[in-house]
């Protein structure tokens, strides 16, 4: 389940007031989430949660649920 904290980071980065983000939500479904903003979102998530992702892990992400799992697994390290 997507945390409100992750949802807020994504929405803030995209300058959106609200959008129904779920585990299965993919980037093309979210207004403004293009390839450039994808990089900005990943950087914003890393900064907010004080984590650093490996490039190959980011490339494996299929949806926002995968991003939440990556954040969760990285916070423990």
H-helix or E-strand spanning residue 49: helix 35-49
Choices 1.10.3720.10, 3.20.20.70, 2.40.10.10, 1.10.1200.10: CATH for 4-75: 1.10.1200.10
Q: How many CB atoms lie within 10 A of CB 46?
A: 16
* Predicted confidence (pLDDT) per residue in 6-58, tens digit: 999 999 999 999 999 999 999 999 999 999 999 999 999 999 999 999 999 99
* Predicted confidence (pLDDT) per residue in 49-69, tens digit: 999 999 999 999 999 999 999
Backbone φ and ψ of 63, nearest 5°: -160, 180
Torsion angle, alpha carbons of 23, 20, 47, 63, to 10: 30
Domain boundaries, the chain: 4-75
Q: Are 33 and 41 in contact (CB under 8 A)?
A: yes
The secondary structure of residue 76, as a DSSP letter, is T
């Amino acid at each position: 389940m997507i945390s409100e904290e992750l949802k807020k980071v994504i929405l803030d980065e995209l300058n959106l007031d609200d959008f129904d983000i779920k585990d299965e939500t993919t980037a093309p479904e979210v207004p403004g989430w293009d390839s450039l903003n994808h990089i900005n979102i990943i950087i914003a998530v890393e900064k907010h949660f004080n984590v650093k992702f490996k490039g190959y892990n980011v490339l494996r992400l299929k949806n926002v649920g995968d991003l939440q799992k990556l954040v969760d697994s990285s916070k423990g390290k």
